[in-house]
Structure formats: structure tokens, C-alpha cells
């Protein structure tokens, strides 16, 4: 994407900035600005699905601490309320403490948004990511 460049400032926690700086070096970026542009573009691309309408298909990937009180039960209860959009799930043991849940979905974007919001509010989740595309009619 080209066009006018906007200069901005952001406040970032020190730990996040340190990790960002390390990754910039590791990935060979010559410019911190370019790395920020790429990070913002990735954020936009990853979350664009929330503005879609109609039917979408994709997945939600959740990592969580299975030792956290009732996290698995809460995730399962939420899923049972959305059987109309959930196609399949996969549970992966990452370590003795952490698990990954992959949920394959297809259905109305508004229902999927509601599912995503409910899942992301569960205490014990360490990360939640999604990838969706619109379904041709």
C-alpha cells in the first residue's frame, strides 16, 4: 500500500518493545518504522474478518493453561452453544501445563463473532488467534 505517510507515536510496555527490537534484528529489518508498518498490516489482515458479512469459514486457535480452574469445562460449554457453526475441533497437549484447541468453523459471521467473544473471555486462555475467509455464495 502506498500513499502519504503519517507520523505517529505510541506507548509500548518495555518488555514488549524489547522483544520487538530483538525480532527486528533477527528478521533483518533495516528500519523500525518498516517493522511497525508490517505489524500493523498483519493486525489489520488478521482481524478484517470482523467486518465481513454473510458466511465465513476458518478456524480459531486457542492456547490455555489446563490447570486453571474449570477452563476446559468453560471452553466446552461455550462450544456446545455453537454447534451450528463448529465443524470440528482438535485438542493438542503442548506441555504438562498447556494445551491447544483448534476449532474449525463455518457459518454466519455474526454467530462466529459471538463465539469468538465468548471464548476470548475465558480466564486461563494465554492466546487466541483466528483466520477466516468469506464463503462464496
Task: Sketch the domain layout of the chain as residue ranges.
Answer: 14-48, 53-134
Report pLDDT digits (tens) over 21-60.
999 999 999 999 999 999 998 888 777 888 888 899 999 9
Instruction: Give the separation between CA 13 and CA 28, rounded to whole angstroms.
Output: 23
* CB distance 57 to 137 below 8 Å: no
- When the candidates are 3.10.450.50, 3.40.1010.10, 3.30.70.1150, 3.20.20.80, the CATH number that belongs to 53-134 is 3.30.70.1150
Higher pLDDT, 100 or 46: 100
Phi, psi of 134, deg, nearest 5: -75, 150
Distance of CA 77 to the CA centre of its chain: 20
Give the per-residue pLDDT at 51.
83
Higher pLDDT, 47 or 78: 78
Give the per-residue pLDDT at 62.
98
Specify the pTM.
Answer: 0.77
CB within 8 A of 49, min separation 6: which ones? 56, 58, 109, 130, 132, 133
Amino acid at each position: 500500500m502506498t500513499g502519504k505517510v503519517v507520523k505517529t507515536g505510541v506507548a509500548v510496555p518495555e518488555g514488549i518493545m524489547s522483544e520487538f527490537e530483538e525480532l527486528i534484528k533477527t528478521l533483518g529489518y533495516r528500519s523500525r518504522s518498516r517493522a511497525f508498518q508490517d505489524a500493523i498490516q498483519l493486525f489489520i489482515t488478521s482481524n478484517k474478518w470482523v467486518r465481513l458479512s454473510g458466511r465465513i469459514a476458518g478456524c480459531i486457535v486457542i492456547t490455555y493453561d489446563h490447570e486453571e480452574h474449570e477452563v476446559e469445562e468453560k471452553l466446552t460449554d461455550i462450544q456446545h452453544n455453537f454447534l451450528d457453526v463448529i465443524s470440528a475441533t482438535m485438542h493438542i497437549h503442548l506441555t504438562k501445563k498447556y494445551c491447544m484447541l483448534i476449532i474449525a468453523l463455518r457459518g454466519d459471521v455474526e454467530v462466529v463473532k459471538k463465539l469468538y467473544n465468548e471464548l476470548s473471555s475465558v480466564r486461563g486462555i494465554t492466546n487466541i488467534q483466528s483466520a477466516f475467509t468469506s464463503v462464496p455464495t
